[in-house]
């Protein structure tokens, strides 16, 4: 992701409808997956906007490769953050690992999930959110250095192939999907004569911002129980599969 976007995000997150509603949804989902005091690792934690809301309930840790992200986390009071990769973490495993709009930034998403599995406790859980549908690809994806967008079935297969049992997969940001899809398709069919900012990160009028936040946030009452059939984003919850244990007499004649 372009470095300037971290600063832009940190400024917009406390007031922008998408970040606020998304945090409401994800915190509700996480609260149903963890008990107080459980260990949580947020991979690609960005500016720490999610961790800031969770750190009073759980033992939260953040991991990000960007120095500016770590600085933003610390400014928010999120102290247990590490710059680097999984190899830079302690060996103590986690109850939940989250990749919140992260694996689309990775050239090898499969390898990331395999490594994450080794840092989960037995029967630990994984929470992933990703952008949905390749036909929604836009300059926003380019600015954020995305490699791909996802659909439900391929993501389920990816989880199964990397040692997880999928528990719940659902699209979200569903109510606003027709509007956002129409805007994205219009931009692709009729690109502006003068290129604008490559990212979608901007604050709408206050009344519109409040309305969009309210609409999007209502989906928290459905997550993670009722799968939604389509949406701008996709959410997956999976559990680490235990290793296969062969009987003691396996292989004996």
3-state secondary structure of 173: coil
pLDDT in tens, 206-241: 999 999 999 999 999 999 889 999 999 999 999 999
**To 5 degrees, how large is the angle CA 188–CA 193–CA 194?**
110
pLDDT in tens, 128-144: 999 999 999 988 898 88
Predicted local distance difference test score (pLDDT) of residue 161: 97
**In whole angstroms, how large is the CA radius of gyration of the chain?**
19
CB of 20 within 8 A of CB of 209?
A: no
pLDDT beyond 60 at 252: no
Which pLDDT band holds residue 248 (cuts at 50, 70, 90)? low
Q: Which residues of 107-126 are buried (b: 16+ CB within 10 A; e: fewer)?
A: eebeebbebbbebbeeebbb
Which pLDDT band holds residue 89 (cuts at 50, 70, 90)? confident
Mean per-residue pLDDT of the chain: 92
Multiple choice CATH, 3-240, 3.40.50.10490, 3.40.50.150, 3.50.50.60, 1.20.1250.20: 3.40.50.150
CB of 9 within 8 A of CB of 204?
A: no
Question: What's this model's pTM, rounded to 2 decimal places?
Answer: 0.92
Query: So where are the chain's domains?
Result: 3-240
- Point out which residues pair with 239 in neighbouring strands: 125, 165
pLDDT in tens, 150-208: 999 999 999 999 999 999 999 999 999 999 999 988 888 877 665 555 566 789 999 99
What is the average pLDDT across 14-21? 97
């Amino acid at each position: 992701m372009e470095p300037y976007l971290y600063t832009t995000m940190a400024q917009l997150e406390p007031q922008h409808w998408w970040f606020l509603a998304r945090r409401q949804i994800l915190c509700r989902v996480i609260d149903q997956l963890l008990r107080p005091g459980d260990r949580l690792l947020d991979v690609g934690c960005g500016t720490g906007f999610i961790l800031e809301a969770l750190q009073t309930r759980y033992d939260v840790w953040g991991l990000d490769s960007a120095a500016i992200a770590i600085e933003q986390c610390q400014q928010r009071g999120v102290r247990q953050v590490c710059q680097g990769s999984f190899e830079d973490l302690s060996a103590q495993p986690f109850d939940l690992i989250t990749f919140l709009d992260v694996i689309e930034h990775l050239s090898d998403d499969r390898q990331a999930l395999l490594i994450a599995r080794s840092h989960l406790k037995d029967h630990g859980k994984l929470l992933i959110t990703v952008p949905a549908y390749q036909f929604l690809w836009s300059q926003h994806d380019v600015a954020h250095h995305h490699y791909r967008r996802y659909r439900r079935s391929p993501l389920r297969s990816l989880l199964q192939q990397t040692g997880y049992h999928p528990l719940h997969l659902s699209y979200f940001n569903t109510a606003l999907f027709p509007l956002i899809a129409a805007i994205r398709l219009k931009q692709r069919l009729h690109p502006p004569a003068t290129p604008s900012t490559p990212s979608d990160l901007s604050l709408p009028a206050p009344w519109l911002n409040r309305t969009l936040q309210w609409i999007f946030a209502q989906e928290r009452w459905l997550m993670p129980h009722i799968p939604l059939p389509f949406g701008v984003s996709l959410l997956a919850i999976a559990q680490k599969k235990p290793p296969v244990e062969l009987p003691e007499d396996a292989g004996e004649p």
